[in-house]
Structure formats: structure tokens, C-alpha cells
Chain A
Amino acid sequence: MDKETLKQKIMEVFQKKASGAGKSKIYLKDLQREIPEANPRDIKNAANELVKEGKLEYFSTGSTVMYGLPGVGMGLEAGMEKPEE
């Protein structure tokens, strides 16, 4: 599978997850499970490129890092608003 097709597939997984199950963040592992025909390392590389392009973003509560669609679900700094100056 070429890289662009793989990237497209990855984006489809995210859109499906976000609209269907309402799951906004997923692990790299789960992404790999959704696209079993691709090599895990290729998926990692493609997903990381999508982050660089601004189409995905990283998310973590301090443990394993997840990927999410920018602006969907919990934000990066949920509940961490800066107090009024």
C-alpha cells in the first residue's frame, strides 16, 4: 500500500470512530488493528506524518500517547484554563 492511500485509510478510521462510537482518541495499536493489511511501522510513520500536516494531533493523560482529530473530543488542556489575570 502506498503512503498516500495509507494516510487516507487512517483518516477514514478516525472519521468513522469519531462519528460512530464517538471515540475521539485512539491508540496506535488500535489503528493498526483497523488496518491489518499494512505494516505496523508504516502505519506509525504515516500517522506521524499526518500529525506534521496538522490533520491529526497527539493526546495523552501522561501514559501511552494517543492520536485524535484536532478539535474533536477532549482538548489538549482540558480543565487547565489559565486563571483570569
Chain B
Amino acid sequence: MGEVKKHDTPLMDDLKSGPWPSFVDDIYSYAERHKKQACFDILGQMELSYKNKETHWKHGGIVGVFGYGGGVIGRYSDQQEKFPAIWAFHTVRVNQPAAKWYHTSALRKLCDMWDHRGSGIMNLHGSTGDIILLGTVTEQLEYIFYDLGHQLKMDLGGSGSNLRTPECCMGMSRCEWSCIDTQDIVYELTMAFQDELHRPAFPYKFKIKVSGCPNDCVAAIARADFSVIGTWRDRIKIDQEAVRAYVGGELKPNAGAHSDRDWGPFDIKKEVIDLCPTKCMFWDEGQRKLYINDAECNRCMHCINVMPEALWPGDDRGAVILMGAKAPILEGAQLSTVIIPFMKLEPPYDNLKNLLYKVWDYWMEHGKNRERLGETIQRIGLNRFIVDVLGIKPIPQHVKEPRSNPYIFWKEEEVEGGWTRDVAEFRKRHPA
């Protein structure tokens, strides 16, 4: 390794100060220790971007490994003479273990590989959940892939019009509210759909995210074409003793989330009963007992969040399946909408896989290029998607409210006598 060339980066250097961890300090420390030109060059190019207020990356072509249509994002500098060590600076997406738990033996080995084959810069994690390895050249890609497969038992994640790497919240590994085994579901789906993940299959990207409860910590409803959100349909479990402890001030509301401000003593009426969106709760001061009319509950989680020592989701657990979320490009942002209000999810989750196949079969045939599932549903109508495509019975849970216009696309078979009419007969009754 020869001498490294350093660049003058006063603007980047400004980001070394302040209390929040500084990526500039980190990258420079690493660059010095490992004598990595790519790290000096990347900060050099960042400095130029800070000066010009424009990105200096070229529009990347696809690069990848043999037989895969995703997992690597090609990236090339438009300042190749100034920063030759980052002339190519491709990203490798590596499929993360479910809920992002690691053992250091695996992480260290991954780091050793990345020191050797790439810039040493990474993201833990990318927006979709993958481990992101930032910065390598085309010639290294196959070797990285072989290292991942042979030495790390890891595989690439999704990109392009593939299934994107499925992601989940921490689920049952630590959370008492998780109504479904989010990690196992994500693992099972990821393994079942390896082909869809690695090779282009669809009109556009397709994301699956799984949250264990309606708090939705992985933002499934906002980000995933296919959102699985755990819920329950029986009664909220209550420990009345613990409720009294909250009321009596012995337990801290909301697990202590408000500890640095004096909000006054806990007031169950004001903080729980009155904030319940369905007003289905009652605190009997005389009996010192909490009543919940579970049939009216919409499972928003507020009361459970406020009193985690006293309330839990019920035992009849499953998931709501929603579909169609996406970012604003192009028709505007969409949240996922309810398709199946309650689905039992037990391994090997064949019901979930069958539903996905049904959706994909339709979308692959009828979706337009670069059209997300949510846009396809919009185009054909949610009613048609539910009834004609999925064969599901339409129910009020599918909508916030029924339509306000009566412009209904009646089907001919629904109308007595059909649409074929005789003009002559009509005119006999109604002379022109």
C-alpha cells in the first residue's frame, strides 16, 4: 500500500464537532488507520458536493453477480480524475438476519471481509433493512458474493423490480405485545421467495413488512406493498391489581416514557379513558375496577401502552393483512389498506404464501411497468381487487366509509333482464 493522498475538506471537518456521533470523524479515523484512499476520496468528493450543492455520482448502470438481477447498486463518480479510488463505488445489499440481531463473531468476520474487498464504509442498516456495504469496484463483486456464501453464510438482498428484503420489528424476541412471530414469518417468507428476491419478477418493487402489533414499529402500513400487522380479536387481558397500582401512583404510566417532565399525578380518566378512541372503557372509582367493552375496542394500543404492567393483547391472536403502501412517486403517497381483517398465522404460513402468490399472479399480468401494487389497486378499484381478483367477500372493514357518489359500475348479470333492450318495444310504450 503506497502513500495516500489527502484532500482539504474544511466543510466536512465542520461536522466533526458537536455531541452526535460524527461520520466524518469515524471515516477519517478509519482512513488514517487503514491507509484507505477510497475513504479520503469519498470525503473529498463529499466536500465538493458541499461546495457545489450537487451530487457527484453518475447515473449508475446495473452491475451484479452472475444469475442475480439485484442486490448490487452500481455507482460511479463523475470526478474520476480527482478521486480515482472511488471511480466505481458500488453498493452491496446483504440480507439482514430477522429483527437485526447479531453475534459479534459474524459481524467481525463481515467487517474483515469488507476491509479487504471494499471501502470499509457501511450502513447498519439501509431503509429496507439490509446491511449496506458502501463502495467497491465491479471486479470485486463476484468475490464478495463468494465470500458471503462460503465464509459468512449470507446472501444478497433485493433491488430493482424484485421482491425487496422482507423486514420485521423485534417481535417475540423482546416485546410482550407481539401477536405474531414476526421474525419467523419474515424468515419463512424470505426463504420461500428466494427466486423473487434475487431475480426480477414484477412490474416494479414489492416490499413485505411485518409488525407484531398495531404500534407498527417497522412502519409496515406506510412502506410495504404487503403489510402484516399483528392483532387479536378477543378480550384485552387485565390485571386489576396492577391497574390500581397505576391509579395509586405506584407504577409509572407508559413504562416511564414521560419521566423528565412533571405532568402531575397519573389520572386514569384523563390519560386513558378519555383518550380511548372508541370510548369503550370505564373506571369504576367505587369498585376500583377497570371495565373494557371489548366488542367496541378498535385495538389502538393506547391503554396497553400506558399501562404495560396491567393490560395485554388477548389470546386469540393473528394479523391484519393490508396492501398498497408506497412513497409519493408517482401518484402520491399511499398507506396500505385493509384486505384481510384477521388471519391466523401459524408455521409454515401457507395461507400467507398463497395470498402472496395470488396477488403476484394478478399484478404480474395486469400491473403496468413501474406501477406499484397500490397503484394497480387504485386503477382497477379496491372493490374489483378484493372481489374479482382475490375472491374475498367485501365487508365494511375494507373502507372508512361507503362511497358518496352513486356512479356504480353495475355488472350486466346483476341487472334483471340484462342490458339488451328492444328500441321498438321501448317506443311502443313511449312514442318519440
Q: Which residues of A contact B (CB under 8 A)?
A: 27-30, 32, 40-41, 44-45, 48, 51-52, 58-65, 67, 74-80, 82-83
Contacts and interface: CB of A to CB of B under 8 A. Distances in A.
B69 interface: yes
Contact of B76 (A32, A45, A80): A80
A45, A51, A63, A65, most chain B CB atoms within 10 A:
A65
A64 B361 contact: no
B361 A76 contact: no
B59 A62 contact: yes
A28 B201 contact: yes
A64 B164 CA distance: 12
A64 B161 CA distance: 5
B289 interface: no
Contacts of B80: 83
Contacts of B367: 29
Contacts of A74: 61
B63 A77 contact: yes
Contacts of B314: none
14 contacts: A28-B203, A29-B364, A32-B365, A45-B195, A51-B67, A58-B62, A59-B62, A61-B61, A62-B60, A64-B203, A65-B62, A76-B61, A80-B60, A83-B81
B253 interface: no
A79 B88 CA distance: 12
Contacts of B73: 62
A58 B64 contact: yes
B58 interface: yes
Interface in B64-90: 64, 66-67, 69-70, 73-74, 76, 80-81, 84, 87-88
Nearest to A59: B62
A51 B84 CA distance: 32
Nearest to B68: A58
Contact of A60 (B76, B88, B160): B160
A83 B67 contact: no
Nearest to A63: B370
B203 A52 contact: no
B61 A78 contact: yes
Contacts of A61: 59-62
Contacts of A45: 195
Nearest to B367: A29
Contacts of B360: 41
Contact of A65 (B76, B84, B200): B200
A60 B138 CA distance: 15
B369 interface: yes
Interface string B6-38: 000000000000000000000000000000000
B204 interface: yes
B368 interface: yes
Contacts of B59: 61-62
B70 A65 contact: yes
Given A48-B199, A51-B67, A64-B204, A83 B84 contact: yes
Nearest to A67: B200
